[in-house]
Each structure stands twice: as C-alpha cells, then as structure tokens.
Amino acid sequence: MNVIQTLIITTALAGVAGTGLGGLIGALLQKNSNRTVSLLLSFAGGVMLSVVCFDLVTESIETGVGIGVVIVSVAFGVAVTFLLNYLIDRKTNPEVPHIDSKHPKTADDLDELIHSDHLEQHQAGNGSKFELFVAGIVMACAIALHNVPEGMTIGASYASNNGVMGSAALVLAVLIGLHNIPEGMAVSVPLITGGMGKAKAVLITAASGVPTIVGALLGYWLGEIGALGLALSLGFASGAMLYVVFGEILPQAILMYHSKLPAFSAIAGILAGLLVIFG
C-alpha cells in the first residue's frame, strides 16, 4: 500500500466513518445530550490544541524557513477560516429567528455550528426546492470549512514524517474522528426530523466527511514541495485549527453546558496530547 492510499484510508476513517457513525447514532437516538457532547468537544479541542502547539507548529519552525514565515502562515490560516465563517454566518443567521441581538456571538449548539438549523428553518417553512438546495450547499460548505483544515493537519503531519504514519498524525486522525461523531449527529437529526429516510440521512451525513480527505491530500501535497511548502502547510492548518478550537469548539462547549467541567475536560485533552506526543 503506497503513501497516498494509506493517507486516503486513514482520513476516510476519521472523516467519513467518524461523521457517518455520528449520523447513525443520531438516526437511532434522534437526540443528543448537551453535557456529553460538550465534554467530548472540549476534550477533543484540548488534544487538538496540544498537538498543534507542541507538534505541528514546532515541526513548522524546524523546517528552517524562519519564524516570520511560520507566524504569517498561522495568522493566515486563522484569518481565512474566520473570514469564511463570518461570511457564512452573515448569510444564514438573519434567516434563523432565534439568532437575534441577544444571541451569543458564537454558536451555542452544534446545529448552529454547521448551520443545519438554517436548513431546518427552510424545511419547516416549506421553502422552495431552490431555497432548500442553497441551504444544503451552505451547510455542506460550513462542514467542509471545518473538515478541510482538519484533513490538512493529518496530511501535513504525514508529509513531515516522510510519509510514515507518526504518532501526531495518528492521534489527529483518531481525535478528528471522535470530534466528527457529534457533528454527524447534528447533521442527521434535522434531516430525519424534516422527513428524510434514516438510511439516506446517514449516507448524506457520512458523505459530508469527504472534505477531510481533500484536505489531507492538499496538506500532504504542499508538504512534499519542500521546506517552504511544508512550513506553509503546517502553519496554515495549525492556524485554521487554532481558530476552530478557540473561536468555536471551546466557546460552544461552555455555552452548551454551563459548568467548569468543559474547562477541565479541555485541560485533560491537552495533557493527553502531551502524553501521546512525548510519552
């Protein structure tokens, strides 16, 4: 099995299988526990933070391209991810009644994070086929926006280890798969509630994880160009993930479950990441 095949299989398990499993759980239960999802998200966010800061960024610096290039690439990853999220939110939020001036300036539910609430709103209002199509595309873009940089971190880490599945890439794949389970639940439940068959909803949910593979191939390709490409790939993916963790996952986890436990869960995730990286 060559490098590309291994990378595709690994990211397919993390993205497609992880999201699909979440979709299956959502189809069977058609509900989720905010407390469980909150702690799961914050723990995954902590591990991602640990791997990004103590492994990926460090590897980017060690390419020797200069600290300035690394900082700029990380900042660029943050800026691009924030801007794309902002544009999607600006389009969808005014169409969802409960998102008003009193609503937190971040998602407080997984439905909001991936904008399945926007699709559900059009379904409930008997929107036209075109409106439903646009809402579906917006949701797909929102999911891709999270999954592509997640995949890039795996691909770039894979490239930095000369095409060998290192501990960082393996941990990222496992954690991304874990993180995708509650996202999958958030995709399938509104689809089923809107009248879609369970099997079809699970298949569509699993398909929403495909951008992870695209991101992994992109990250690996950039990393194979040379030291500069590897630094840019690692830096951009790290910046995108830092925004996702600090701008979305952790704020959302705390809003979903008002407690100190999400903070302790995130700290536990950071320590778990350190154990895997240096253990």
Q: What is the tens place of the pLDDT at every residue in 144-188?
A: 777 888 888 888 878 777 666 666 677 778 877 877 887 787 778
Task: Report the C-alpha gap between 158 and 166 in whole angstroms.
Answer: 7
The predicted structure's pLDDT at residue 123: 75
Q: How confident is the model at residue 194 (pLDDT cuts 50, 70, 90)?
A: low
Task: Report the C-alpha gap between 252 and 112 in whole angstroms.
Answer: 10
The predicted structure's pLDDT at residue 7: 86
Task: Report the C-alpha gap between 141 and 276 in whole angstroms.
Answer: 32
Task: Report the C-alpha gap between 81 and 73 in whole angstroms.
Answer: 12
Exposed e or buried b per residue across 22-41, where buried means at least 16 C-beta atoms within 10 angstroms of its C-beta: bbbbbbeeeebeeeebbbbb
Return the closest-CA partner of residue 189 out of 22, 27, 20.
27
Residue whose entry in the numeric block shows the structure tokens 């995730």: 269
Exposed e or buried b per residue across 116-137, where buried means at least 16 C-beta atoms within 10 angstroms of its C-beta: bbbbbbbbeeebeeebeebbbe
Task: Report the C-alpha gap between 45 and 78 in whole angstroms.
Answer: 16
* pTM to 2 decimal places: 0.83
Count H helices and E strands in the chain, helices first.
14, 0
Domain extent for 134: 3-278
Span 257-270, pLDDT tens digits? 889 999 999 999 99
Q: What is the mean pLDDT of residues 208-228?
A: 88
- How many Cβ atoms sit within 10 Å of the Cβ of residue 259? 14
Give residues with Cβ within 8 angstroms of 141, minimum separation 6. 88
Return the closest-CA partner of residue 136 out of 185, 83, 205, 183.
205
> What DSSP assignment string belongs to 67-86?
HHHHHHHHHHHHHHHHHHHH
- pLDDT of 243 above 70: yes
How many angstroms from the chain centroid is the CA of residue 189?
Answer: 18
Task: Report the C-alpha gap between 6 and 194 in whole angstroms.
Answer: 37
The answer for 197, left when phi > 0, alpha when psi is -120 to 50, beta otherwise, is beta
Total domains in the chain come to 1
